[in-house]
Amino acid sequence: MKSRIPVIVVSGFLGSGKTTFLRYLLRESNKKFGLIINEFGDVGIDGDLIKSCNKCDDSKDDCIVELNNGCLCCTVQDDFVPSIKSLLEYNPNIESIIIETSGLALPIPLIQALNWPEIRTSIYLDIVVGIVNGESMINGSPINDLNKITNQYNQTNKIDHNASIDELFEEQLEVSDIVLVSRSDILSNNQFEFIKKNLQGKLNSSTPVLKSHNGQIDLNYLFDIDLKKETYKAYLTEEHEHNHVELFSDSIKSNYFLGKNEFEKEMSEIIEELNILRIKGRIWIPNKSLPLQIQIVGKKINTWFEESPDECWKPKDSAGLELVIISFDEKSIKTFKVKIKEKFKVLSDPKITI
């Protein structure tokens, strides 16, 4: 009888560094992974960033499944269970499965879904990795402008569920077997100890809290040492009310573009008065060999040049942009799309400086 395949669940708030950690894990580990990546919207930006790092086999698409519903546990029967079965069927040599949850996903229903009869004879949950943004945790929050985001959330009348942002963050922590503090390179020792003490009040007493910079950690904590990996076990059969945050998402594809510095300047002005939670995407700039990758959480903008998969959407004449927008407020997304098209149209002869 074939051995069951271990599953690694990677959880964390929006912008915590989940994708960065996964890229490091895939590059540095010799294991063959299958991946399930849960995102919002129909454009898999995070999936594309991960594909170049995975060594599953020559057919990368078979071992990476992207689910864009934003909540795996809401579509267990239709999406999640079939995805697990597909990974195992088409990739018999994979040694482990990684599940990256969306940034506002409640992890407990997902953990319970891994125990469904259709798949529990083939897989088992090995470890839950929780990731927090060290820069924002200096102020005790999972994200830099949490107060403003929480106000957006509370003021959105269309939300049917009653899980608060704080409850979501605490649940992500309480099921974790290991917690990584990202962006630790910008923290002093005193700041890290302050964050660690803050987190330990929400964690199982045996849960390690580790520094991580650019996703790097000692992978022995995942694979080679006798780490106590059982924090999640209390939740496998526990009755749990499934309340989650309702979000809206949309995407933009356009042949307009800006250079790196000008994009950051214009984007900061556009989002200043809007209730936008998350933006990610790419800009293709003429005479640049690599597209500009875009990652925005709240008002914090991060951009860098990196290749994208050959099969992804590309604009005509190698000039344009593709963005995914996520918000609690559908009206803000519509306003954002209007504003950015207006800005890019006005700047139709953009400067291409970086």
Q: What is the dihedral of CA 196, 202, 205, 210, to 10 degrees?
A: -30
Query: pLDDT tens-digit profile of 128-171?
Result: 999 998 888 887 776 655 555 555 555 544 434 445 667 777 88
How many angstroms separate the CA atoms of 251 and 323, rounded? 5
Predicted local confidence at residue 156, as pLDDT: 47
Predicted local confidence at residue 68, as pLDDT: 62
| E strand map for the chain | 5-12, 33-38, 64-67, 96-100, 123-133, 178-182, 209-211, 248-254, 278-284, 292-297, 300-305, 320-327
pLDDT(348) > 50: no
Query: Tell me, what amino acid is at 298?
Result: G
Predicted local confidence at residue 162, as pLDDT: 43
Cα dihedral sign, 27-264-312-337 = positive
Please indicate whether residue 183 or residue 78 has the higher confidence score (pLDDT): 183
Q: What is the layout of strands, in order, in the sheet containing 123-133?
A: 64-67, 33-38, 96-100, 5-12, 123-133, 178-182, 209-211
pLDDT(237) > 70: no
Average pLDDT of 255-262?
A: 85
State the CB neighbour count (10 A cutoff) for residue 103: 27
Predicted local confidence at residue 10, as pLDDT: 92
pLDDT(78) > 70: no
pLDDT(212) > 90: yes
Pick from 340, 214, 354: nearest CA to 289 = 354
What predicted TM-score, i.e. pTM, was given to this entire model? 0.73
The two structure tokens encoding residue 341: 């098209």
Query: pLDDT tens-digit profile of 166-187?
Result: 777 788 888 888 999 998 988 9
State the CB neighbour count (10 A cutoff) for residue 151: 13
What are the chain's domains? 5-235 (3.40.50.300), 248-346 (3.30.1220.10)
How many angstroms separate the CA atoms of 180 and 11, rounded? 10
How many angstroms separate the CA atoms of 289 and 8, rounded? 35
